Structure 1
Amino acid sequence: MNPDLRSAHRKAVRRLLPILVLLLFVNYLDRVNVGFAAPTMNPALGMTTTGYGLGVALFFVGYVLLEVPSNYVLQRVGARRWLARIALSWGVVAALHAAVSGTGTFVGARILLGIAEAGLLPGILWYISRWFTGRQRAFVLGAYYVAVPLSTALGGPLSNWLIHHGQQTFGVEGWRFMFAVEGAAAVVLGFVVLFLLTDTPAEARWLTPAEQRALTEANLAGRAPGEGKHSFASALRSATTIRFAVVFLLLTFPMFAITFFVPLVATGLVPDRGSAAVDVVTFIPFALGAVASVTWSRIARREPRARHLVLPVLLAAAGVALCAFAGSSFPLLVVGVACAATGIYGAIPVFWNTASAGLDGAAAAGGLALINTVGSVGGFAAGYVTGWLRGLSGGYQLPFGIMALSLVLCGLLAATTGRVPLRPVRPTPHQAVRGGP
C-alpha cells in the first residue's frame, strides 16, 4: 500500500472514528434510556405497559417521515453542519424528557425526539462512504457500529447510576435527572461535531497534501464501475434497495423490542433486585453483542454479501425463542438475550456494508435513508405491537415468539438478496456535448 495512503487511513480512523462512535453511542443511549427509566417512571406517571409501548412506538413516526428528506439536505449542505444540527436538536428534546408529566406529554416528547434525530444513522453511513471503501469501510463500519450494543451494555449501569444519584444526591426523581444529564451530553457533542469533523479528505488540514490526494484517489479507484453516476431517486426506485429495507425491517423489530422491554421483563422476574437485574441482563449480553459487531464484520469483510447475515440472524432467532420459553428463570433469560444480542449486532455492520457496497454519492444518501426509514417501522412495531401483545396475552411469550419468526424470515430473505444494482444517471444533452459527468 502507498505509504501516504496508509498514513492517511491511520489518521482518518484516529480522527473521525472516535467522534462517530461517541455520536452513535449517545444517540442510541438517548433513544433506549427510556427502557431503563420505565421501571420507576411508569408507576410515577401512572402509565400502563400499553401506554409506554405507544410512546416508544410513536418516536418512529417523525423519524420515518423525515429520514429521506434529512439525508437529501445532508448531501447538499455537508455532513459536518447537518450532523451537528441533528445532535443539538435531539439533545435538547432528550433533556426535555425530564419534564414529562403523564402519558400525553411522554408520547409528545417521544414524537419530537424522532423528528429531531431523523437522518443521523444514514447520514453517518453516507459520511463514512466518503472516506472509506472496500475492506477499510467494512472495518470502520464494524468498529463504528459497536457503539449500538455498547450504548445498552454500558448505558444500563450508567443510567441506573444516574437514577440512583439523582434521587439520593439531588433530591429529584432519578429518572428525570438521568434524562436531563444524558440529553445535555448530546448538546455538547453537537459542538464537538461542528468543530472537529471534516466533510471531505480534500478539506482535511490534518492530512498532508500527499495524503489528501492518496485518500481521494483511493476512494475513487475503489468504487465499482459507474458508481458516483447514480441519482438520489435511482436508489429509491431500486428493487434490491427495497429488499434490503425489508431485511432491515425484520431485523430491527426484535432488536428494539429486546432493548425497550427486557429491562421490564428482568425487573418482573427479580423484583427485589430490580436495578441489579437490569444491569446483568443488559451488560453481559450486549457486551457480547459489541464483540460480535467487530468480529463478524472482520470475518465477512472480504466479500460484502447479504448471505453473511444468515448465520448470526439464525443465532439471534434461537436466542429469542429461548427467551420465550424462559418462564420464571432469570439465568435462562440472560442466556437467551445474550444469543439474540450476539446475533443481531454481529449481523448489522455486515448488513450496512453490503447495502452500501453498490451505492455512492447522492445514491448512497437516498438508498441508505430509504433502508433505514423502512427499518424504522420495525422500531414502531417493537414499541406498540410488543406492548399490545403483552397486554393481550398477559405475558411476553407471544411477543418473543413473533420476534423469533421475524428473524427467521430475515435470514431467509437475506440468503436470496444480492448487491444493489442501479442505472446510471443519463447525462443532459448539454453534458453529453461537453462530455462532462
Structure 2
Amino acid sequence: MTAELRTAHRKATRRLIPVLVLLLFVNYLDRVNVGFAAPTMNPALGMTTTGYGLGVALFFVGYVLLEIPSNYVLYRVGARRWLARIAVSWGVVAALHAAVSGTGTFVGARILLGIAEAGLLPGILWYISQWFTGQRRVFVLGAYYVAVPLSTALGGPLSNWLIHHGQHTFGIEGWRFMFAVEGIAAVVLGFAVLLLLTDKPAEARWLTTDERSALTEANRIERAHDSGRHSFSSALRSATTIRLAIVFLLLTFPMFAITFFVPLVTTGLVHDRASAAVNVVTFIPFALGAIASVVWSRMARREPGRGHLALPVLLAGIGVALCAFAGKSFPLLVVGVALSAIGIYAAIPVFWSISSARLEGAAAASGLALINTVGALGGFIAGYATGWLRELSGGYQLPFGIMALSLVLCGLLSFAIPRGHTAHVTRPATETEQVG
C-alpha cells in the first residue's frame, strides 16, 4: 500500500464515514422506534400483538419490491443525490407516523416507510466499495455498521425520553411526538448528505491528484482479480449471490425479531418501572454489540473468512436460546439479548465484506440489493411470525426457539460459502497499514 493510498483512505474515512454512520443510525432509529412506541401506542390504537406484527412485517414489502430497482437508479444517477432523496422521503413518511389512527393506518404507514427506504443499505455498501479496498474495507464496514446496534442502544433511551417529555406537547401523545421529531431529523440529514458526500474518488476535490489516482488504481487492481461477468443481471443469477442471500435471511430474521419485540417482552416481564427496564435491556446489550462490531471486524481485517462469520453467529444462537428459557428472569433475558447482539453485530460487517469484495460496478449494485432484498424477507418473517406465534403459544418461548434454530443453521451454512469469496488480500498488512 502506497503512502498516497494510505492518506487517501484516512481522508475518505474522516470525511465520508461520519456522514454515513449518522445516516444509517437515523435510518435504523426510524425503523425500530416503533418497538419503543409499541407499549403505549398499541393500547392507544386498540391494536393486538398480531396487528402490530403485521404492520412491522409489511414494512419490508417495499424493500422486496423496490430494493433492486432503487440500487439500479443509484448506480445510474450517482449515490450522493439518490441517498439524499431516500433520506428525505423516509423522513417525511416517518414523521407522518404521528398521525396514525388505528391498525389500518399504521400498516399503511409502515408499507410507505419501506418503499421510501428501499435501496439505502445496499446503496451505501456499494458506495463504500468504491472508496475502500480489501483490508481497509473490512475495518470501515465494522466502523460503519456500528450505527445499527447503536440505533437501538442509544435510540431506546432517546425514544423513551421523547415519549415521556413529549407527552401532551402540541396536544399530542408522547409516542406521536417521538415519531415526528425523529422523522424530521432524517429530512435534515438528507440535505446534509447532498452537501457533504462526493460520488466517486475521481471527483473528490478534497484529495490531491496523486491520492485520487491511488484510490482509482487500487480499485482497478482489486477488481482485476475477480472473475466472471460484471453486469447488473449476471449478479442476480449468481449461485454465490443466492447462497449468501440465504445466509443473510437466516441472520436477519432473529436480528429484526429481537429489535422489534424485546421492548414488549421486557414490558410484560417487568411491569413496574417498565421504561427503565427497556432502557437497560436495549442499551447494555446493543452497546456491547456496537463494540463487538468494531473489535471483531478489526480482528478479521487481514482476511475475513467463513469462520469469522460462523463463530459469532453461533454465539448469537446461544444467546437467543437463553432468551427462550429466561422465563421470568430479567437478568437472564439481558444476558441472552447481550450475547445475541454481540454475535449478530460482530458477524454482519464480515458478511457484507465477503459479499461485496468480488462484485464490480452494476453487479455490485444488483448483487448487494438482491442479498438485502432477501434479508428483508427475514424482517417480514420476524414481524408477522413472531407476533402470530406469540399469540398462538401464549408466550415468546416458541418464537425465540425458532430464532435460535435459524442462527444455528446460518452458522453451519456459512461454511458452505466458497473460500475464494472473501475480500482479496495479496499479503499480510504491515503495522503501518494496520494503524492507517
CA distance in 1 between counterparts of 2:110 and 2:28 reads: 13
User: Quick one: which amino acid aligns to residue 290 of structure 1?
Assistant: A
Q: CA deviation at 1:227?
A: 5.9
225-234 vs 320-329, greater mean Cα deviation:
225-234
CA distance in 1 between counterparts of 2:6 and 2:225 reads: 24
Residues 1:415 and 2:415 aligned together? yes
Alignment partner of 2:207: what SS?
coil
Structure 1 gap ranges (5+)? 422-437
Q: CA deviation at 1:171?
A: 4.4
Structure 1 counterpart of 2:230:
230
Q: CA deviation at 1:179?
A: 0.3
CA distance in 2 between counterparts of 1:144 and 1:2 reads: 24
Alignment partner of 1:183: what SS?
helix
Residues 1:191 and 2:187 aligned together? no
Q: CA deviation at 1:222?
A: 2.6
Structure 2 counterpart of 1:278:
278
Structure 2 counterpart of 1:24:
24
Structure 1 counterpart of 2:161:
161
Structure 2 counterpart of 1:376:
376
Instruction: Give yes or no for contact 2:169–2:177 (8 Å, CA) kept in 1.
Output: no
Matches within 5 A, 1:32-431: 32-167=32-167, 170-226=170-226, 230-418=230-418
CA distance in 2 between counterparts of 1:61 and 1:276 reads: 33
Alignment partner of 2:273: what SS?
helix
Q: CA deviation at 1:7?
A: 1.7
Structure 1 counterpart of 2:424:
none
Cα deviations across residues 328-383 of structure 1 (Å, max 9, x unaligned)?
A: 01111000000000000000000000111111111100100000000110000000
Instruction: Give yes or no for contact 1:359–1:420 (8 Å, CA) kept in 2.
Output: no
Structure 2 gap ranges (5+)? 422-436
Number of matched pairs: 421
Instruction: Give yes or no for contact 1:227–1:359 (8 Å, CA) kept in 2.
Output: no
Q: CA deviation at 1:175?
A: 0.4
Instruction: Give yes or no for contact 2:226–2:359 (8 Å, CA) kept in 1.
Output: no
Q: CA deviation at 1:301?
A: 2.1
Alignment partner of 1:198: what SS?
coil
Structure 1 counterpart of 2:433:
none
CA distance in 1 between counterparts of 2:240 and 2:251 reads: 17
CA distance in 2 between counterparts of 1:187 and 1:390 reads: 35
Instruction: Give yes or no for contact 1:357–1:419 (8 Å, CA) kept in 2.
Output: no
Instruction: Give yes or no for contact 2:94–2:179 (8 Å, CA) kept in 1.
Output: yes
RMSD across aligned positions (CA): 1.3
CA distance in 1 between counterparts of 2:334 and 2:155 reads: 17
Q: Relative to structure 1, is the Cα distance of residues 226 and 103 closer, same or farther in structure 2, using a 3 angstrom cutoff?
A: same
403-412 vs 221-230, greater mean Cα deviation:
221-230
247-256 vs 301-310, greater mean Cα deviation:
301-310
Instruction: Give yes or no for contact 2:135–2:302 (8 Å, CA) kept in 1.
Output: yes
Identity of matched residues, %: 83
Instruction: Give yes or no for contact 2:226–2:358 (8 Å, CA) kept in 1.
Output: no
CA distance in 2 between counterparts of 1:224 and 1:317 reads: 38
CA distance in 1 between counterparts of 2:139 and 2:302 reads: 10
Alignment partner of 1:223: what SS?
helix
User: Quick one: which amino acid aligns to residue 310 of structure 1?
Assistant: A
Q: CA deviation at 1:419?
A: 5.8
CA distance in 1 between counterparts of 2:126 and 2:382 reads: 26
Q: Relative to structure 1, is the Cα distance of residues 227 and 126 closer, same or farther in structure 2, using a 3 angstrom cutoff?
A: farther
User: Quick one: which amino acid aligns to residue 399 of structure 1?
Assistant: P
Q: CA deviation at 1:219?
A: 1.9
Q: Relative to structure 1, is the Cα distance of residues 169 and 101 closer, same or farther in structure 2, using a 3 angstrom cutoff?
A: closer
Alignment partner of 2:327: what SS?
coil
Instruction: Give yes or no for contact 2:42–2:52 (8 Å, CA) kept in 1.
Output: yes
Instruction: Give yes or no for contact 1:242–1:371 (8 Å, CA) kept in 2.
Output: yes
Q: CA deviation at 1:170?
A: 4.7
Q: Relative to structure 1, is the Cα distance of residues 409 and 374 closer, same or farther in structure 2, using a 3 angstrom cutoff?
A: same
